[in-house]
Amino acid sequence: MQRFIPYSKLYVGQLVVVTTNKDAQVRTIGAIHKSDHGTVSAVTLLWREGKRMCGQDSNPWTLYKPTLDQIEFSIEVNGALVNKTDICRHLIALAETA
> Which carries the bigger pLDDT value, residue 27 or residue 94?
27
Long-range Cβ contact pairs of 54-61 (< 8 A, separation 24 or more):
55/30, 55/90, 57/33, 58/18, 60/7, 60/10, 60/32, 61/4, 61/7
pTM of the model: 0.90
Within a domain: 44: yes
Q: Is 83 part of a structural domain of the chain?
A: yes
pLDDT tens column, 3-20:
889 888 999 999 999 999
In-domain check, residue 39? yes
Collapsing DSSP to helix, strand or coil, 30 comes out as: strand
Residue 30's domain comprises 7-97
What length does the chain have?
98
User: Does residue 37 fall inside a structural domain?
Assistant: yes
pLDDT tens by residue, 44-77: 999 999 889 999 999 998 899 999 999 999 999 9
C-alpha–C-alpha distance, residues 26 and 42, integer Å:
17
Domain annotation covers residue 2: no
Q: What angle do CA 40, 36, 82 make, to 5 degrees?
A: 35
Q: Is residue 53 part of a domain?
A: yes
CA dist., res. 87 & res. 28, Å (int):
9
> Domains in the chain: how many in total?
1
Query: Does the pLDDT of residue 2 top 80, yes or no?
Result: no
Question: What pLDDT, on a 0 to 100 scale, did the predictor assign at position 1?
Answer: 64
In a domain, 42, yes or no: yes
